[in-house]
Amino acid sequence: MENRELTGKFYDIQGFSVHDGPGIRLTLFMKGCPLRCPWCHSPESQAFPSELNWMEIKCVGIEKCGNCLNVCPQDAITPGKMKKTPAGDEEITLVTVDRSRCDNCGKCAEACTSKALYMCGTDYTIDDIMERVRRDIPFFKKSGGGVTVSGGECLCQPEFLLEILKTCKAEGIHTAVDTTGFAKWDVIEPILPYTDLFLLDLKGVDPQLHKRIIGVSNELILENAKKMVAAGAKFQIRIPVIPLYNDSVKAFNEMGEFIKELGDAVEVVQLLPYHSLGTVKWERLQKNAPILEATPPSDELMQARKKQLEDMGLSVIIH
């Protein structure tokens, strides 16, 4: 029986995903994450509450619109800088959001028909989610796909996550959970019987370095991975390849050794090269992106690290 009271907060839902598990998948991105990876390309996933985003390019200017100016209970929105229109024949006045006053109530986003101001983070009930999931069942059946619950860190909304997984399994839908593995065992254990596959991030094995760069130690993550294997979980391991952090031969040897300890539970290792496409998303939140002195790794480096892990007996793909 579906729980009609419970809600989960999501920042995105993407159909036709082909990199989040087998076949064609519906990927559900839950909001909120306890880690702070400086290379995060989905900064809108980090905070737990819904947040106001600002996409300057969509604002048509207060001369033609100005709908947002008088709706803010906090008086956080005022006329801002001038800007030439893309055609360059007109000047418009944008708005400024004073983030120190904004409490993310969303009233301005409701008023902004251009979607220059929009909220990120939507609450769904299980019925809402399953209604969306069921639309894609024909694609799942044709391709051997299913549902992947991702984030943020979906283990931070454990009740809703468990309910989605249970409901999907009851309807014969393949389930995957994309996770950092950073959660109490009490949260992970209940979802094991309803999760066909875990997509587990592995960002490094050195606990001090992990804590210094990401904000939390990885000891809990590594311990959870071993316990999950003992409980019969299946894995795809995802390694974000970050220059100057975890791209060295030494770091890959350490990660390879750890993955080998997980044995046959690991179907494949995916290498995800760092990219800087998330920068624009930090701008929309009007937050400073963390300083990360990294450029995307070269093809040669990616191939070398792939071969390094393959030489250790692992099956590896590059995304």
Closer residue to ligand SF4, CB minimum distance, 60 or 220: 60
Residues 6+ apart with CB under 8 A from 4: 125, 126, 127
Record the tokens describing residue 302, joined without a space.
């990616």
| CB nearer to ligand SF4: pick between 105 and 294 | 105
Range in contact with ligand SF4 (rule: CB under 6 A) among 41-49, 102-110, 202-210, 279-287: 102-110
Of residues 60, 137, 192, 318, which one binds ligand SF4 by CB under 6 A? 60
Neighbouring-strand partners of residue 51: 120
* 95 forms part of the interface with ligand SF4 (CB under 6 A): yes
Q: Which stretch binds ligand SF4 (CB under 6 A): 52-60, 129-137, 183-191, 197-205?
A: 52-60
CB of 61 to ligand SF4, least distance (A): 6
Cβ-based nearer residue to ligand SF4, 95 or 120: 95
Instruction: State the Cα–Cα distance between residues 158 and 216, nearest whole angstrom.
Output: 20
Site for ligand SF4 in 218-247 (CB under 6 A): none
Within residues 247-306, the interface with ligand SF4 by CB under 6 A covers none
Q: Does 55 participate in binding ligand SF4 (rule CB under 6 A)?
A: no
- Residues 28 and 247: their CA atoms lie apart, in Å, by 29
Radius of gyration of the chain (CA): 22
CA 52 to chain centroid, in Å, comes to: 18
The CA-based dihedral angle spanning residues 251, 246, 154, 220, taken in that order and rounded to the nearest 10 degrees: 40
Interaction pattern, residues 64-93, with ligand SF4; x per rule: CB under 6 A: -xxxx--xx-x-xx----------------
Q: What is the dihedral of CA 105, 106, 108, 111, to 10 degrees?
A: -140
For ligand SF4, the closer of residues 101 and 212 by Cβ is 101
Stretch that binds ligand SF4, among 40-48, 56-64, 209-217, 306-314 (CB under 6 A): 56-64
Min dist CB 50 to ligand SF4, Å, is 9
What is the DSSP secondary structure assignment for residue 241, as one 8-state letter? E
Contact of 302 with 240, CB cutoff 8 Å: no
**Nearer to ligand SF4 by C-beta: 61 or 181?**
61
Distance (Å, rounded) from C-alpha 265 to C-alpha 258? 12
Partners of residue 197 on adjacent β-strands: 176
By CB under 6 A, the residues from 161 to 180 that bind ligand SF4 are: none
Nearer of residues 103 and 219 to ligand SF4, judged by Cβ: 103
**Interaction with ligand SF4 in 103-142: which residues (CB under 6 A)?**
103-108, 111-112, 114, 116-117
Residue 28 main-chain phi, psi, to 5 deg: -105, 115
Hey, what are 151's tokens? 């984030």
In whole angstroms, how close is the CB of 35 to ligand SF4 at the nearest point? Answer: 26
- Look at strands 25-30 and 146-150 and give their pairing: parallel
Asked if residue 29 lies in contact with residue 100, where contact means CB atoms within 8 angstroms, the answer is no
Give the binding site for ligand SF4 (CB under 6 A): 52, 59-60, 62, 65-68, 71-72, 74, 76-77, 95, 97, 102-108, 111-112, 114, 116-117
